[in-house]
Amino acid sequence: MEGRKFKLKNREEILLLLGAQDEGLRELERLHRVQVYVRHHPESESADLTLKGSPAAVEKALRALRGALEDFYNARLAPEDARPREEVPLPEGVLFKSHYGDLIRPRTDNQKKYVEAILSKDLVFGVGPAGTGKTYLAAVCALRALRAGEVKRIILTRPIVEAGEKLGYLPGDISEKVDPYLRPLYDAFHALAGPDRFRSLRADQVVEIVPLAYMRGRTLENAFIILDEAQNTLPEQMKMFLTRMGQFSRMVVTGDVTQIDLKEKTRSGLVLAREILKKVPGVKVVNFNAKDVARHALVKDILAAYDGWEREHPDA
């Protein structure tokens, strides 16, 4: 394992890169597959980081740290301190540069079709197995649209399908009750925008995360709206959601029709909407398969094994 040092000169840099309760640090370790050890120096309010991992992983993590600090100090430059800076164009095919310096681009043909559809259509359905990038790429396109001024806010929602426990019996307010259900959406935006920026966007209500049931009666204008885990909507819920779209908004609906958790699996709103809307102009359905899985290589083999077993045991 290679070990490299990185110095944080002051409290601002420590808070920026480590985050509250070391959330940023944990995110850095998870994204780049490194281990980070921190040695604080209270007398000088500085800290030393030691990054350990494969040489390639450590170098990538260091680039992310340097990039985050560079962006931080560039953003603090007053107009009189420097000439206006032109935004550096992204390389061809790259959609977005994450908070940690990663360049995000679609990897498979279906991912490219999906992104092209999101950029050109007002309503897109991304349907396929876990790990194919449906939610992640939708989040990328949402932040990209927000940064470009194409929308004023991002709204993230999921149906709450309870398994055993009722929300009313869980501790905390409504935000704390639904937090476990919405965690996958948090993870995507943490990775792209960074924990501190994500918290700021939520505090300013630029990014709103809400259970699907709370969407009724609203009209969502100038917004990029993502409905995740849509296979667990009922037909009436899906219709309610789709009719929330207001002027200058766009929607992305994601789901996996092989992972329906409803008691009546034949009543999935995603399955029905995909059939009803397939010929409607302005709507695009993109179907993913196991070849599009972008998680650990073993995930593809797991999915293939399950598919084979289910074909051999159709009544199981």
In the predicted model, is pLDDT for residue 273 greater than 60? yes
Burial of 208 from C-beta contacts in 10 A (0-12 / 13-18 / 19+):
middle
pLDDT in tens, 161-208: 644 334 554 555 555 656 666 777 788 888 898 888 888 888 888 999
170 vs 278: CA distance, rounded Å: 39
The reply to whether 2-81 and 102-312 are identical in fold is no
Q: What is the bridge-based pairing of β-strands 123-127 and 250-255?
A: parallel
Average pLDDT of the chain is 84
Q: What angle do CA 125, 112, 285 make, to 5 degrees?
A: 20
Class of the CATH-defined domain 2-81: alpha beta
In the predicted model, is pLDDT for residue 20 greater than 80? no
Class of the CATH-defined domain 102-312: alpha beta
Domain extents in the chain: 2-81, 102-312
Residue 268: which of 228, 234, 227 has the closest Cα?
234
Q: What is the pTM of this model?
A: 0.68
pLDDT for the residue 100: 84
> What type of residue sits at position 265?
K
Mean pLDDT, residues 67-91 taken together: 60
- Residue 220, H or E segment: none
- Residue 249, H or E segment: none
- Mean pLDDT is lowest, of 184-188, 194-198, 252-256, 306-310, for 184-188
316 vs 314: CA distance, rounded Å: 6
